[in-house]
């Protein structure tokens, strides 16, 4: 795997400015690097303004306690955090991000740049926090998720080794995406988009944002940023 995506300089702006978040997202997509092996995916950098990424990385959400159990995020559903109504009211930076990604401009950009079938879907943003002992079995996201963007936030010691693991198949490992604050891995879920996280040492907390657009069949409506407002292309 390449060490980094195309270099796009960070946009320095107030951290809660929705327009600035959208501008940074546009610039990141414009500088995207595309890969066809082992499946079509993209790497980007500086997907959020530097101040936004740093503010998100420092949000005071409780870190899930694994209790020796891992492999699937849903094993700890009661401890997960989202860009939901309560969180967005509490933290303006979360609302700025959600509003940018809900906007018609960014929805159309994602649809066109990645050929993502996200018309009439819902924005789902998870604030993920992973501690030592965490791992994820390979999975594809195929189904109700129509777009996946894994956005990396933390920059602690050794975190450059904590990228998403990529697989040829559920059983065969391929490589790992770069992990850097503001960088992201993007793909449109398909039968072969296997990804996960091999168990390895995590010092501190690995923080990321999981961006999905999901269909009307998504049952956990409380996880959605705007559960009554599907996005339109």
For the chain, the DSSP string reads: --SS----PPP---TT-HHHHHHHHHHHHHT-EEE-SSS-EEEES--S-HHHHHHHHT--PPPPP-TT--BSGGGGGGG-EES-HHHHHH-HHHHHHHHHHHSHHHHHHHHHHH----TTBEEEEEEEEE-TT--EEEE--TTTEEEEEEEE----TTGGG-PPEEEEETTEEEEE----TT-EEEE---TT--EEE------S-EEEEEEEEE-TT---GGGBSSTT--B--
Give residue 23's domain range.
18-223
Total domain count, the chain: 1
Whole-model pTM? 0.91
The pLDDT tens digits for 28-85 are 999 999 999 999 999 999 999 999 999 999 999 999 887 887 876 765 666 799 999 9
Residue 176 included in any domain = yes
Residue 133 lies in a domain: yes
pLDDT bin (cut points 50, 70, 90) of residue 132 is very high
Specify the pLDDT at position 6: 44
Residue 96: CATH number of its domain = 2.60.120.620
- What is the pLDDT at residue 79? 73
């Amino acid at each position: 795997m390449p060490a980094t995506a195309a270099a796009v300089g960070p946009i320095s702006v107030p951290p809660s400015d929705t327009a600035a978040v959208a501008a940074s997202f546009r610039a990141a997509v414009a500088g995207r690097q595309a890969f066809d092996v082992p499946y079509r995916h993209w790497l980007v950098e500086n997907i959020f303004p530097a101040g936004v990424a740093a503010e998100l990385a420092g949000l005071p959400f409780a870190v899930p306690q694994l209790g020796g159990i891992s492999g699937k995020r849903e094993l700890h559903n009661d401890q997960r955090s989202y860009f939901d109504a309560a969180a967005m009211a509490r933290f303006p930076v979360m609302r700025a991000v959600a509003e940018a990604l809900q906007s018609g401009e960014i929805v159309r950009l994602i649809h066109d740049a990645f050929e993502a079938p996200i018309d009439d879907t819902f924005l789902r943003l998870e604030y993920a926090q992973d501690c030592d002992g965490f791992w994820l079995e390979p999975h594809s996201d195929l189904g109700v998720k129509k777009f996946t963007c894994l956005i990396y936030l933390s920059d602690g010691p050794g975190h450059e080794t904590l990228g998403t693991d990529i697989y040829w198949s559920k059983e065969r490992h391929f490589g790992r995406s770069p992990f850097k604050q503001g960088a992201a891995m993007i793909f449109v879920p398909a039968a072969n988009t296997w990804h996960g996280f091999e168990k390895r040492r995590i010092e501190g907390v690995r923080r990321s944002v999981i961006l999905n657009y999901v269909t009307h069949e998504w049952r956990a409506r409380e996880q959605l940023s705007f559960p009554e407002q599907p996005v339109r292309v």
